[in-house]
Structure 1
Amino acid sequence: MQQLRGREGARVRRTYREHARRTKVTWTHRDYDPENFAGSDPINQALSAAHVCLYGIVHAVIVALGAAPGLGFIHTGHERSFVYDIADLYKAEISIPVAFDVVARGSADVPADTRRAVRDRLFELNLLDRCAADIRRLLLPDSAGQQEGHAFSEDVVNLWDESGAEMPSGINYADEYEVDF
């Protein structure tokens, strides 16, 4: 795990350097204080804004799929550990290049322009569908989304039954089962 973290850290640092070179934005290191957003330089503000947007989208996808945001495999000990794990899959492609591009353009409003640029990039890459497919592939036994002979469909919701059978939702079963309250 320590090797994985070390390699991931090196990959991200290399990604920051590459985008700094590409955009000619001055880059020293990732530096931010969550309590003082305005105290950061423009590139660190843009990175923070871009990453937060990405976290929000990934969180929404995780919850929509019924997964636990705190599940965490790489990140642990936080209620959004799984969000950070999944978001890390997309930072080098989405939030990091967007942040450097916004700062390179000389934006007058770095946070707002970064949020809009991330929104556009997410739409361009169809991230919602892609993220949902990636999470299913990570959590389900095979990439087709099959689990113990059951097909996964986001359009079908079933109810659990103690017999082990799935029962269709959206039906009032009160008449079939005599229940007194």
Structure 2
Amino acid sequence: MASGQRLFVKVTRDSLPQVKDKYPFLYLERGRLEIDDSSIKWIDSEKNVVPLPVATLNALLLGPGSTVTHDAIKTATAANCAVCWVGEDSLLFYAAGFLPTADTRNLRHQIEQSADPERSVEVARRMFARRFPDANLEGKSLKEMMGMEGSRVRALYQSKATNYQVGWKGRKFVPGKFEASDTTNRILTACNAALYGILCSAAHSMGYSPHIGFIHSGSPLPFIYDLADLYKENLCIDLAFYLTREMAGQYNKHKVSEAFRDRVIDMDLLAKLALDIPEILGEKRARRNRK
């Protein structure tokens, strides 16, 4: 909790912070989440009790060995704090529960943009423009821009490998065989999964759907994967090669989790999302969810 001083902020029921004002996430494992006098507390495996100010948290990530009461879920969602079920150290993202938004304006806008082929490509073009600021994307098809992105990412991997003097044989991930990957790929997998959890909870909190994408398709969370590609370079890719060198190739999950969390906070990711998502979807600003 040393780096979590920002967690303990007093709020009232009428002044719940917006997504951009919240602490990104808190990961918990091997313990019990329950309520105490209408607030939430965490009881760990050694019976230590930690009060959790969920009104200032964007998401609770519950890892292995976690149990939760019905009232704890009600209290968390009433404070607009997402509850996600994840693998150890957030290596896998399983499921999430959210407070249904009372204001569907953002969701309707997202659906309207996605349903119109021309507007949908324009949204995708705005996303790609952030990765190709000097390129003229006008008139390019989605397929052409995806081809450009594939080449960019492959070159980025190789560039980072060269800069950090780390061996690289390509991106490889086999579900269920995490330990079989090399250190860099393991860090990438862990950071990607944690990023998806944060983005999923933030999108829901702002009234958008993770299931309505503009670039990715045929997957459970296309909009989340669309957004993740905007932030992976610093939060996941650069970090993976940097940590591989720092850890001398020996994977350390605690160092990975701490370093990823630090980068998320340094980037102020939630504040960026509050501005980036509406801009990408062609809105001036996102409306705050009504309680």
Q: TM-score, normalised by structure 1?
A: 0.77
CA drift at 1:111: 3.3
Partner secondary structure for residue 264 of structure 2: helix
Cα shift readout 1:45-99 (whole Å, capped 9, x = no counterpart): 0111111111111111111111000111111122211000000011112210111
Kindly provide the amino acid, as one letter, of the partner of residue 4 in structure 1: M
CA drift at 1:129: 0.8
In the alignment, which of 205, 208, 215 is matched to residue 67 of structure 1? 208
Equivalent in the alignment of 2:144 = 3
Equivalent in the alignment of 1:123 = 265
Equivalent in the alignment of 2:54 = none
Equivalent in the alignment of 1:27 = 168
Query: 8 Å contact 2:178–2:186 — kept in the other structure?
Result: yes
Partner secondary structure for residue 94 of structure 1: helix
Equivalent in the alignment of 2:219 = 78
Kindly provide the amino acid, as one letter, of the partner of residue 95 in structure 1: C
CA distance in 2: counterparts of 1:113 and 1:6, whole angstroms: 34
CA distance in 1: counterparts of 2:253 and 2:161, whole angstroms: 18
Q: More displaced, 99-108 or 24-33?
A: 99-108
Query: 8 Å contact 2:216–2:222 — kept in the other structure?
Result: yes
> Which one has the largest radius of gyration?
1
* Corresponding position: 1:49 with 2:181: no
Query: 8 Å contact 2:183–2:251 — kept in the other structure?
Result: no
In the alignment, which of 125, 134, 157 is matched to residue 276 of structure 2? 134
Kindly provide the amino acid, as one letter, of the partner of residue 183 in structure 2: P
* Corresponding position: 1:15 with 2:156: yes
Query: 8 Å contact 2:244–2:251 — kept in the other structure?
Result: no
Kindly provide the amino acid, as one letter, of the partner of residue 217 in structure 2: T
Query: 8 Å contact 2:187–2:256 — kept in the other structure?
Result: yes
CA drift at 1:153: 3.6
**Alpha-carbon RMSD:** 1.6
In structure 2, runs of 5+ residues without a counterpart are 1-141
Equivalent in the alignment of 1:148 = none
Query: 8 Å contact 2:199–2:228 — kept in the other structure?
Result: yes
Cα shift readout 1:110-138 (whole Å, capped 9, x = no counterpart): 33322221110000010111022111112
Kindly provide the amino acid, as one letter, of the partner of residue 122 in structure 1: V
CA distance in 2: counterparts of 1:125 and 1:73, whole angstroms: 24
Equivalent in the alignment of 1:98 = 239
Query: 8 Å contact 2:160–2:241 — kept in the other structure?
Result: yes
Q: TM-score, normalised by structure 2?
A: 0.49
CA distance in 1: counterparts of 2:208 and 2:153, whole angstroms: 26
Partner secondary structure for residue 91 of structure 1: helix
Cα shift readout 1:135-166 (whole Å, capped 9, x = no counterpart): 1112243xx32xxxxxx442x62xxxxxxxxx
Partner secondary structure for residue 79 of structure 1: coil
Query: 8 Å contact 1:45–1:111 — kept in the other structure?
Result: no
Higher share of residues assigned strand: 2
Kindly provide the amino acid, as one letter, of the partner of residue 42 in structure 1: T
